[in-house]
Chains A and B, each alone.
Chain A
């Protein structure tokens, strides 16, 4: 199925009743060159890059539920590359560039909207920090603009500029940042990967690893039988520790719950993605009109996919501080996703000490924006057995070596990243 203006017109004339399935719901074969555990955005992107960039098409993606049922469908859909540390800057910009061509690459409308991401600053010190970050971005060829108060007033006249405690002084803007439709990203990668021969296998939970005499992983035990594989890649953020434990590994990761929220729909208000710099609150407005927003993780270990009221209150206070007029808007939906919180706030994309097993984990709460980049560099690792040049620092042994990538400077305290 190839999507185009002609396929759309044809379908319109037949009352949109003849659309075909966009990807095959496959049954497992006995053996694959590569098995990816996890049918989220990262797993499906990895499979697509393996097939399209590295010519490895005998690939299966195993998903224990339905594709996109985990964090790929539970985020606030923000894309950006405004990072400051070596390792992160190059990687997230690689990902940003892949977002910019994703719809053409996949022949799928993922609704990538480069509406801009602005981080507001509220003090002189914060302005200096943002200026530094913006300069770091620009040195690395990433767009960044430091806006003063006048420019922010013009862009977002509805903000509360009279806040005496946390006055808005300006913001750091990345115009190329924005949002994408999270479910469509999953379906788009499934669509394009399936067309290249990748088997997407749902309701297939991995229950163990098959290992040969030397300890090498040669396949997986699943709820749908044994599946052999020359290489196995894990892309199960949120559950990485549980899957790694089946191979006898302990990871530098804690699982925490992050909540996200949607308000009832209102007329167009917020033109971009905006963050409050004096607390933790980020917001954009969906095409349906709902405000989509979030803040901090709850802060305690959890696999429950739901959070608690103190963080909800804190997030809403952040929103009210910026926009007191949203106080009368009702909250429509709220949900929680399980984050792989790593010990330095950065991801891990590496071979594991177990031969044949590869790890893509530790995305904290920044995994969505990384989806295409993560897919490319993980596919590179699986295909070539060496890290992609933009992922040479995301190593599993960096904690032991003291080579952390700690954007927030919090140390090994995962609930603070």
Chain B
């Protein structure tokens, strides 16, 4: 598996770190316990095309939003996601 970074070009997987599914959104402060539980623990665990965050730590150190098929590892698109991944991990 290689990822075509929009800034660095095609790079091998070892340069990237995985964050996971891009769909869940951190609930606002004051959200219900159910919403927080859902966000922290439950997963769609998609079998098929999935949108996810990767971090190019071994290159430009940008957050990327990658569309990848979990059944085949085929990557259909890679977009810059400046700030989005960072916000998700609370960085």
Q: Which residues of A contact B (CB under 8 A)?
A: 239, 241-242, 250-255, 299-304, 306, 308-310, 313, 343, 399-400, 412, 414-415
Contact = CB atoms under 8 A, between A and B. Distances in A.
Contacts of B37: 399-400
B10 to A, nearest CB: 14
Contact of B45 (A251, A308, A412): A251
Task: Determine the main DSSP class of A at the interface with B.
Answer: mixed
Contacts of A304: 70-73
A310 B12 contact: yes
Interface string B17-51: 01011000000000000000100111111110010
B12 A241 contact: no
Given A241-B44, A253-B45, A399-B41, 17 more contacts: A241-B43, A241-B47, A250-B45, A253-B43, A255-B45, A300-B20, A302-B70, A302-B73, A303-B47, A303-B71, A304-B73, A309-B12, A309-B13, A309-B14, A310-B13, A412-B41, A415-B20
Nearest to A340: B45
B19 to A, nearest CB: 9
Contacts of B1: 308
Task: Determine the main DSSP class of B at the interface with A.
Answer: mixed
A238 to B, nearest CB: 10
29 contacts: A239-B47, A241-B43, A242-B45, A242-B47, A250-B43, A250-B44, A251-B43, A251-B45, A252-B41, A252-B43, A253-B45, A255-B70, A301-B20, A301-B45, A302-B73, A303-B47, A303-B70, A306-B73, A308-B13, A310-B12, A310-B13, A313-B14, A343-B40, A399-B37, A399-B40, A399-B41, A400-B37, A412-B41, A415-B18
A306 B43 CA distance: 22
What 6 A-B pairs have minimum CB-CB distances, sorted nearest first? A241-B45, A310-B14, A252-B41, A300-B18, A399-B41, A250-B42
A311 to B, nearest CB: 9
Contacts of A313: 14
A94 to B, nearest CB: 27
Nearest to A400: B37
A241 to B, nearest CB: 4
A397 to B, nearest CB: 10
Contacts of B73: 302, 304, 306, 308
